[in-house]
Structure 1
Amino acid sequence: MEKFARSFERFKKAYRKFEEVVNNPFLPDIFKDEFLIEITTKRFEYTYEALWKTIKEFLRLRGLECNSPKSCFKEAFKEGLITTEYEEVIFDMIVLRNNLVHVYDEEMAKEIYSKIEQDKFLKAFKTIINKIEEIIQNGV
């Protein structure tokens, strides 16, 4: 349970930092686009990584093993941790995260950034946080 708790706290912290950069209307006035894109994409990546690792630990507590983001998300859907409403969003997250690893030019980075800024990712992350907190309150 301790490993799950640490993982969940990392996920919530990563989410708050991602939310902070996406929802701050003053950042575009302060930072150059290049820097803002880098910050936002990195924070998205950290949040995504923390999410799937939290799901991995959550499922481990339920006696289920998964070793990759895709397998963890698949099990999370089966367990009701993530609703089918977010199935497409999770798929988009996986694709964007995988594309981030291979960003070598500014145009591709801008394209990924414009997708990451979409509110659907923040909503999905927050919904999963709320669901996990609800499950914890009712006993894992």
Structure 2
Amino acid sequence: MDEMKEIRWKQRFENFEKSFKLLEKYASMSISTELERAGIIQFFETTFELAWKLLKDYLEAEGLVAKSPRESIKQAFQAEIIEDGHLWMEALSKRSLTTHTYDQELAEKLVVEIQEQFLPILK
């Protein structure tokens, strides 16, 4: 394993872990206001972005090449680094949707999905 690439994924993991802990902490609370929903969604976007980049860095350190979030998730699933590749792809789709659209009903539904589905796979 290339030492520089190993250092990169380990540094990325530290950042991911900090972001995940914040997401986990606040997603476990009762969320009722628009500001709270927006905060959870933002934590999710940041954590998910770090997650796929962590997968990419780790795969590269192992000698595999992944250039996109989709490729990184597919390769990580094939290498058995993650489970439930379909749910990871769903999370990727939702993360992409949230960055381009804001709709209160969508936000309320997404917060529930984050709490019940996406948080467990990121853990």
| TM-score interval, smaller chain | 0.7 to 0.9
Alignment partner of 2:121 out of 121, 124, 132: 124
Structure 1 alignment gaps of length 5 or more: 127-140
Quote the Cα distance in structure 1 between the aligned partners of 2:28 and 2:104.
Answer: 22
Residue in structure 2 matched with residue 92 of structure 1 by the alignment: 90
Query: Which whole-Å deviations, capped at 9, do the CAs of 1:88-140 have from their partners, x for residues lacking one?
Result: 3212201110110122332232232232221x2222111xxxxxxxxxxxxxx
Identical-pair percentage = 27
Residue type at the aligned position of 2:56: K
> Would you say 1:56 and 2:70 are equivalent positions?
no
Task: Confirm or deny: 8 A CA contact 1:52 1:72 kept in the other structure.
Answer: yes
Residue in structure 1 matched with residue 8 of structure 2 by the alignment: 3
Counterparts of residues 34-113 of structure 1 (less than 5 Å)? 34-83=34-83, 86-113=84-111
Say which SS state the counterpart of residue 95 (structure 1) adopts: helix
Alignment partner of 2:21 out of 13, 16, 20: 16
Residue type at the aligned position of 1:69: P
Quote the Cα distance in structure 2 between the aligned partners of 1:93 and 1:54.
Answer: 15
Residue type at the aligned position of 1:38: A
Deviation at 1:24, TM superposition (A): 2.4
Higher relative contact order (CA 8 A, sep 6+): 2
Moved over 3 A (4+): none
Query: Which whole-Å deviations, capped at 9, do the CAs of 1:47-98 have from their partners, x for residues lacking one?
Result: 1001001001100111111111100001101111012xx2232122011101
Quote the Cα distance in structure 2 between the aligned partners of 1:101 and 1:6.
Answer: 25
TM-score under structure 1 normalisation? 0.77
Quote the Cα distance in structure 2 between the aligned partners of 1:102 and 1:110.
Answer: 16
Structure 2 alignment gaps of length 5 or more: 1-5
TM-score under structure 2 normalisation? 0.87
Aligned residues: 118
Given the superposition, is the C-alpha separation of residues 71 and 108 from structure 1 closer, same or farther in structure 2, using an over 3 Å criterion? same
Quote the Cα distance in structure 2 between the aligned partners of 1:5 and 1:54.
Answer: 8
